[in-house]
Chain A
């Protein structure tokens, strides 16, 4: 069932749960599926939260796998036994081009007055199923069995793909500043699936062409340079809005063993220098804390902004290297946060029913929406010492010391004796011949 409501005698607000699935067929034949689960508790779980204390932590080396999916599913009220979570099978999910899962916990207001905060937990799972790795190879995708939204904006008259069974329910929602049209399959309405108790959703692609709208803000990051002493971190920020410029906040956390030279920090857009309106930099302390760099950069419309900073690689102590030092050291991704101006007007009325995927960030203004983008993590090689050197040093020094000491000892304790030199071989031979001849010897 889509919603589970439980009354608690203490609070007038009830605990709620809602779940949703949004499907978007992409032009290349891939399917993007986004699962959203929202649990709201009507009580104040943590009485004191001071927003001045912000902690940010990142584990760039970790990869997400079934071990993370299983406890994530356990956080749902019915686990994987009922509801949309039944569809989350790890063999299918991890055979995909892109996978992302998240848990967000935050206090929310219920109603307009916000007298008692209630706590909301949102779990989202985004996955892009690749056409070819899902093993079918045909340009067809089906799933069965809640409210399911299928994005049909790209094919209003059925040119790009055909959706069956057809549904008369169409709804429009604004997602990320873009107005999109959705066909809605409401699983609570028994009319949706007729006599058969399962819904078999089939998407069949017809055409092969068409390109997608690029996202208005995205970023890339890479390491340039050669050798194991210096390097350069380049961060590229793309603004694809045709005519609006907007500011973006860039947060970079670089570990202490990449010593950044902040005097070489340059920000260029369209080959001209772009001075950031705000820079906050906290230098690193060796082995204690990393570099923290925060900048507010104004992005010109339809441009690429490049942020470069040079760094030097540090030599770590012998015991600080991980077991496989030549694999490299990970640097966490940088975070871009921005209020992106939207191409269409958005609805700021919070009391109206919105699909979950469009209502994650509350929009206060009609004309822009909040977005947070993460770049890729970096893998950087540090100069690695030769770990057999301590043994070599021991052998060499001990040999030198032993040889030196030996000679010294020898000199001190050697006793000298005077000795008659013995005759050489030639003389001895000559003496033998002389004896035989009877001539006096040498």
Chain B
């Protein structure tokens, strides 16, 4: 028989301490080293400020200057009002002075900044406004309000202002913004159902805010054998469209081009209507008109800006004249229609220009003023200038040479700024959430910088909106949107996004499994021995 001697204790101790030392070294030094060398580079993002953006409260402030004309206030009330250096009585004395000239004279007296409104209160008996007109809104941020508080005697200034409040609020809602406008601009972020049907239609018709737009004017000639068309589009653009686009320069960049397409037919066959002795396109067939033409229109391949197409269609001699009928089966006066977020189409009939026996092809010059008038109004709708339904008693001055009044532009700027702020904050918060959830995405320094600048610009825009500086607010909001888009769509975010788990295991297991198994087993053995030893000690004591 062989006798197994008892293990010498120092030997066992040495073994145990070696195992524990190795395990300690692996855990203390190995694991942190492995963790550090395999982590993805993630630059720091201002997470606290981004989470603030989620609960953003927008406050919009309009600067209003109220000027009381002579005769609206009693002398005691006049003393309370700060002295004004405007002396306008002279221009309004003569009856024959028309409203427009008065408005122009008033405009030259005060300097109005973007977003502010000046309201002139004129006495009730003034002959400047016709009888049924209460408010006149001029071309440039001024409004004339016929006051009805002259009879209040003994009331202090605050009461006068309080009495004027509802009327002034109405004026401001027409000239600056109202609840519907703001909710329409925020439709992306708000639950549906909060906006009215009209404002929803308006918001769906206009293009979303974008740093640039491309406008294309096309002349469609399906019948070059009979009609030889001439259109002086460059001069027409200079006269009608470019003034509007220059005015809108702070909002976006525009690029305009024009083309002529031959043998371009509409997608529907118009039906002949004997009662009107013309071919008609009914309102429900208009939706099918655009598709076959769209393939030939073309666009700029180098930019991702949205395109507005304006088509002028001259029907061929077989289908002339062509009229468009609306839902109520009535002729549309302008013979044109527009498609939301796409553009407009106008049908120009030339059958009156020649008789039956003329020599074909006939030279026809297109009357660009008529055409451009229609296109300009469609362009205004597409860009976001709403068809304001003026409240009763209001008269809105028609826009002048530039096609848009200053206050209309201000309205657009208000809704654009709000829309930009909403979109930019939505992008930034969703980007931050995405980066948080997926630990695999590499965040480079330039993305962190873009996000930081977007957040800064957003906060600046909100501050400017609160202060009432509309132009600065718009600029900051545009900056915020471009920075947030650039950060969101950066291609470097996807670099390590998809790293399948089985590949990770395939790389780690051949190394770590053989290393860790002996360590674990010896640790288990040591643990069991210690437990056994303790159990023996307890048994000895008892």
Contact = CB atoms under 8 A, between A and B. Distances in A.
B5 A418 contact: yes
A interface bracket (residues with beta carbon within 8 Å of B): 35 or more
A406 B511 CA distance: 11
A420 B2 contact: yes
Contacts of B537: none
A6 B260 contact: yes
A420 B513 CA distance: 36
Interface in B493-542: 506-507, 510-511, 513-515, 518-519, 522
What's the dominant secondary structure at chain B's contact region? Answer: helix
B370 interface: no
B224 A409 contact: no
Contacts of B18: 412-413
B191 interface: no
A78 B518 contact: no
Interface stretch (A147-155, A373-381, A394-402): A394-402
Contacts of A74: 296, 298
B14 A398 contact: no
Interface stretch (B228-236, B314-322, B470-478): B228-236
A279 interface: no
B329 interface: no
Contacts of B235: 9-10
Nearest to B518: A409
A68 interface: no
B15 interface: yes
A422 interface: yes
B interface bracket (residues with beta carbon within 8 Å of A): 35 or more
Given A77-B262, A398-B511, A413 B5 contact: no
A9 B2 contact: no
B519 to A, nearest CB: 8
B56 to A, nearest CB: 42
A415 B263 contact: no
A399 B224 CA distance: 80
Contacts of A145: none
B511 A81 contact: no
Interface string A395-437: 1011101110110011011111111111000000000000000
B3 A78 contact: no
A410 B506 CA distance: 26
B3 A412 contact: no
A55 to B, nearest CB: 15
A11 to B, nearest CB: 10
A418 B2 CA distance: 12
Interface string A1-27: 100101111100000000000000000
A315 B519 CA distance: 43
A9 B225 CA distance: 22
Nearest to A399: B510
B7 interface: yes
Contact of B7 (A403, A417, A421): A417
A406 B517 CA distance: 10
B33 interface: no
A362 interface: no
A82 interface: yes
A78 B515 contact: no
Contacts of B298: 74
A403 B263 CA distance: 79
Contact of A402 (B2, B511, B522): B511
B262 A6 contact: no
B220 to A, nearest CB: 12
Nearest to B21: A412
A4 B224 contact: yes
A419 B232 CA distance: 113
A422 B2 contact: yes
Contacts of A397: 511
A412 B15 CA distance: 7
A69 to B, nearest CB: 15
B518 to A, nearest CB: 5
A10 B234 contact: yes
A9 B19 CA distance: 96
A402 B18 CA distance: 18
Contact of B11 (A77, A406, A415, A421): A415
Given A395-B510, A415-B15, 19 more contacts: A1-B225, A4-B224, A10-B234, A77-B262, A79-B296, A81-B262, A81-B263, A394-B506, A394-B511, A398-B510, A398-B514, A401-B515, A402-B510, A406-B518, A409-B518, A412-B19, A413-B15, A419-B2, A421-B2
Interface of A: 1, 4, 6-10, 74, 77-79, 81-82, 391, 394-395, 397-399, 401-403, 405-406, 409-410, 412-422
